[in-house]
């Protein structure tokens, strides 16, 4: 239903607003030659919105690339996926989410040529590997620097070969006259290891 408004000013106001919805009340009032309040009354009686239309510039979501009126991300899902991106586990290949700050720190360390010391004593260049669990890290460590890669170090478990000669240590301990703890400190061997190697020897 159209409301009939007398006077040419009302017709001009409605015509200008229809042609340019982004024009403010002040701009319409200046073009017609009336006050801003009169333009607001005319639009209100005609059932038209008194606020002018504001065209917001569309941005591009940093995660999915879709256009959005928000500044960075189009939603909370994209924000979470950007902060916790998917990476592949170097142990089993499973995809898991890791903090973007940790990934950036790994990239900076690789770019700086960081050198780390491996459990077997060797040094290597930091590669920033990712593991989704301690089990995967342990399995990869065993394959890389453990007994799988170095079988000369012995077997896992109780059958592992000791690097100390128990017979010579027992003979040396018998002639030293020192207690086990002092003998262990003198030889630079852990006390627990000395107790196992000298089992049956007399203090």
Question: Residues 118, 167: one domain?
Answer: no
Q: What are phi and psi of 30, to 5 degrees?
A: -65, -35
What are 10-61's pLDDT values in tens digits?
Answer: 888 888 888 888 888 888 888 888 888 888 888 888 888 888 766 666 778 8
What pLDDT was estimated at residue 170?
86
Least confident span in 28-42, 97-111, 131-145, 158-172: 158-172
Query: Would you say residue 71 lies in a domain?
Result: no
Question: Residues 144, 172: one domain?
Answer: no
Task: Answer yes or no: is pLDDT of 156 > 50.
Answer: no
What pLDDT was estimated at residue 95?
92
Of the two residues 6 and 121, the one the predictor is more confident about is 121
Task: Answer yes or no: is pLDDT of 6 > 70.
Answer: no
Angle at 136 between CA 130 and CA 138, to 5 degrees: 105
Query: Would you say residue 101 lies in a domain?
Result: yes
Rounded Cα distance, 110 and 128, in Å: 7
Query: Would you say residue 167 lies in a domain?
Result: yes
Per the prediction, the chain carries an average pLDDT of 79
Question: Residues 129, 186: one domain?
Answer: no
Question: Residues 137, 172: one domain?
Answer: no
What pLDDT was estimated at residue 76?
87
pLDDT mean over 163-187:
85
What pLDDT was estimated at residue 97?
92
| Residue 118, token pair as written in the block | 């491996």
The pTM of the whole model exceeds 0.85: no
Can you give the residue range of the structural domain that contains 34?
A: 8-45
Question: Residues 154, 170: one domain?
Answer: no
Query: Would you say residue 21 lies in a domain?
Result: yes
Do 176 and 202 form a contact (C-beta atoms < 8 A)?
no
Task: Answer yes or no: is pLDDT of 148 > 70.
Answer: no
Task: Answer yes or no: is pLDDT of 151 > 70.
Answer: no
Rounded Cα distance, 110 and 151, in Å: 30
What are 58-96's pLDDT values in tens digits?
Answer: 778 888 888 877 778 888 888 888 889 999 998 888 899
Query: Would you say residue 81 lies in a domain?
Result: no
Q: How many domains does the chain have?
A: 3
């Amino acid at each position: 239903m159209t409301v009939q408004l007398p006077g040419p000013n009302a017709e001009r106001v409605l015509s200008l607003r229809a042609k340019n919805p982004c024009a403010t009340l002040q701009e319409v009032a200046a073009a017609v030659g009336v006050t801003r309040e009169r333009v607001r009354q005319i639009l209100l009686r005609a059932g038209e919105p008194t606020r002018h239309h504001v065209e917001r510039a569309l941005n591009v979501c940093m995660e999915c690339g879709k256009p959005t009126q928000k500044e960075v991300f189009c939603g909370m899902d994209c924000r979470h996926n950007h902060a916790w991106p998917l990476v592949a586990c170097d142990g089993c290949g499973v995809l898991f989410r890791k903090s973007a700050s940790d990934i950036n720190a790994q990239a900076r360390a690789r770019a700086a040529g960081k050198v780390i010391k491996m459990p077997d004593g060797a040094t290597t260049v930091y590669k920033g590997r990712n593991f989704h669990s301690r089990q995967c890290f342990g399995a990869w460590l065993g394959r890389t620097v453990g007994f799988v890669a170095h079988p000369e170090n012995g077997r896992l478990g109780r059958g592992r070969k000791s690097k100390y000669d128990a017979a010579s240590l027992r003979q040396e301990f018998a002639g030293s006259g020192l207690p086990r703890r002092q003998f262990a400190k003198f030889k630079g061997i852990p006390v627990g290891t000395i107790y196992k190697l000298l089992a049956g020897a007399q203090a």
